[in-house]
Structure 1
Amino acid sequence: MQHQSGVLYVVATPIGNLADMVPRAVTVLQMVNVIACEDTRHSARLLQHFSIETPCVAYHDHSDDKRVEALLSRLQAGDDVALISDAGTPLVSDPGYRLVRRVREQGVKVVPVPGACAFVAALSAAGLPSDRFVFEGFLPAKPGARLKQLQSLSAETRTLIFYEAPHRVLDCVQDMVRAFGPEREVVLARELSKAFETIHGAPVAELARWIEADSNQQRGEIVLLVRAACGNDESLDDEVVRTMEVLLAELPLKQAAQLGAKLTGLRKNELYQWALGRQSDKS
């Protein structure tokens, strides 16, 4: 009779508020043979709070292959293993990809245990279109590479979602002004589910000034959500397109959008983003 291998459970944990822990996650963490943690010391408070005494081992995507193979061997021997990150859903800008791929290649069952995810929570409360979005994770830390990547996304017609480190958030938002123009709406979601939770949206140039004026907004876990660029010419009436083409031929982009809004009754920001996307398409 063939030996039945164990199961790898990919378990989401709270992003701040421990009350967000789902009951199934507690049950799984209590019943598995070992928990693979991004940082065992960080996870100790969570496990202690829920009286979880399961042994832990450290695992992150920089772990050497020996750690991956050791966990695989335990699974193949019949042990159940749970994978958790410091907060939220593993693999979503957190460790786990190498382990999950390796064990799936070997025919080991992988079971997700859903729960908190920072970017999903932010999107649900941001007031931006959520029917189509793209999660970009963390932008490059180096300024030149970050600006280049943002510029490459300037014409994206889905809501953009980023994670950002607190010490880089102001520089990042200022780069968004350069890449997307000052009128693009951006929402900052900070410290979600925690005591100082903040969700604040504004035209990106205004948001940059707001962050700069309040150092508290440069602390904690941060999600940035960017309103999509307007799509192609089909997103505007033909008459509006002709009006904007005339204005853009004679005026700077910002002035053309302002005057276009007065002539057409459309929002200045909508016309500005349409024109910005049009320029990007021609470049």
Structure 2
Amino acid sequence: MDKKVSLFKNTGILYIVPTPIGNLSDITYRALETLKEVNLIACENIQHTNILLKHFNIKNTLISFSKDNEVQKTDHLINILKKGKYIALVSNAGTPVINDPGYLLIKKCHLFNIKIIPLPGPCAAITALSASGISTHRFCYEGFLPSKKKLRRDLLCSLKKEKRTIICYESKHRIIETIKDIINEIGENRHIVIAREITKKWEIIHGNKASLMLSWIKSDVNRHKKGENVIIIDGYKELKSINPSDKIINTFTILKKFLSLKQSVFITSKIHKINKNNLYQYAIKNKEK
């Protein structure tokens, strides 16, 4: 644990301590030292955290700090910090507060001028993003998608034209329904990546367009309904408008007499080596012509 003297007089320190998201070897030396030296560990689940502590032969006092008791326990922890004690905040896995309890506690620490020291460490969203192959320069994090279908679809619809990479979590029970909703609200051709069981033995990171990802999951439902999922959705890319040449229009017009719009666009794009999505958008806009 840091031996620096606190700049915040007469108060303790709250340490935000990330823990492994699967592989226990991912814990840092600094995190282990902090968990050993603090006066108290506030954890999302005592039994779960005890497994980690026992693995590293750490003995300390634990207090439950979950979504169910966060409000009532926050004031209790603040009073302990005011007495000059050191507390480590941990969640079941990953970086605390990211979709886990702790926001209210940290907000009140700022209010009462109590020092907060965050430690760097594992986070499922960032770990999955780094291996997704989708742009990492700009992204937005949506946490767990709503469990109710209408709310989930409304949210996805609002993200349809989000240009940044989108990161969200989904449970194993709703993954199929959510991919269907992504297809309906964002588009069957939007590229998505699913990362599951990250850092664990059965880790899977797989990406393709949404329609093919649905087929992939359905091909082995039992296998794909294990563990929580991180879903990475490629950001919206505005297609450039094109003015196809007479040759391209003639090819497309002939094909359209015998084939579907989709097939006609695909074959025309192959013949003339142009972007099929741009041609498709042009065809939709000029459908009546």
Please say whether Structure 1 and Structure 2 have the same fold, judged by a TM-score greater than 0.5: yes
| Equivalent residues in 2 for 1:157-236, closer than 5 Å | 157-214=163-220, 215-231=222-238, 236=240
Q: Give the conservation status (yes or no) of the 8 Å contact 1:76–1:108.
A: yes
Equivalent position of 1:242 in the other structure: 243
Matched AA of 1:58: S
Give the secondary structure class of the aligned counterpart of 1:177.
helix
Equivalent position of 2:160 in the other structure: 154
| Equivalent residues in 2 for 1:1-283, closer than 5 Å | 4-63=10-69, 65-214=71-220, 215-231=222-238, 236=240, 240-243=241-244, 254=262, 258=266, 261-262=269-270, 265=273, 267-268=275-276, 271=278, 275=281
Deviation, structure 1 residue 260: 6.9
Q: Residues 37 and 192 from structure 1, CA distance in 2 versus in 1: closer, same or farther, beyond 3 angstroms?
A: same
Count of paired positions: 266
Matched AA of 1:158: R
Deviation, structure 1 residue 85: 0.3
Give the secondary structure class of the aligned counterpart of 2:177.
helix
Q: Deviations over 1:81-116 (max 9, x none)?
A: 000000000111111111111111110011101100
Normalization by structure 1: what TM-score? 0.86
Q: Residues 257 and 9 from structure 1, CA distance in 2 versus in 1: closer, same or farther, beyond 3 angstroms?
A: farther
CA distance in structure 2 between the partners assigned to 1:83 and 1:116 by the alignment: 14
Matched AA of 2:180: Q
Q: Give the conservation status (yes or no) of the 8 Å contact 2:41–2:89.
A: yes
Q: Give the conservation status (yes or no) of the 8 Å contact 1:136–1:162.
A: yes
Q: Percent of aligned positions with the same letter in both sequences?
A: 36
Larger displacement relative to structure 2 (113-122 or 211-220) = 211-220
Give the secondary structure class of the aligned counterpart of 1:167.
coil
Give the secondary structure class of the aligned counterpart of 2:15.
strand
Deviation, structure 1 residue 168: 0.6
CA-based RMSD: 2.7
Question: Segments of 4+ in structure 1 off by > 2 A?
Answer: 240-244, 250-268
Gaps of 5+ in 2: 1-7
Q: Give the conservation status (yes or no) of the 8 Å contact 1:243–1:260.
A: no
Give the secondary structure class of the aligned counterpart of 2:173.
helix
Matched AA of 2:200: K
CA distance in structure 2 between the partners assigned to 1:95 and 1:76 by the alignment: 20
Gaps of 5+ in 1: none
Normalization by structure 2: what TM-score? 0.84
Give the secondary structure class of the aligned counterpart of 1:166.
coil
Q: Give the conservation status (yes or no) of the 8 Å contact 1:10–1:82.
A: yes
CA distance in structure 2 between the partners assigned to 1:132 and 1:253 by the alignment: 34
Higher helix share: 1
Give the secondary structure class of the aligned counterpart of 1:116.
coil
Give the secondary structure class of the aligned counterpart of 1:130.
coil
CA distance in structure 2 between the partners assigned to 1:107 and 1:267 by the alignment: 57
Deviation, structure 1 residue 131: 0.7
Q: Deviations over 1:26-77 (max 9, x none)?
A: 0001100000001111111011111121100011233253311110000000
Q: Which has the larger radius of gyration?
A: 2
CA distance in structure 1 between the partners assigned to 2:272 and 2:112 by the alignment: 61
Deviation, structure 1 residue 216: 0.7
Q: Deviations over 1:3-25 (max 9, x none)?
A: 52100001100000000001100
CA distance in structure 2 between the partners assigned to 1:216 and 1:142 by the alignment: 24
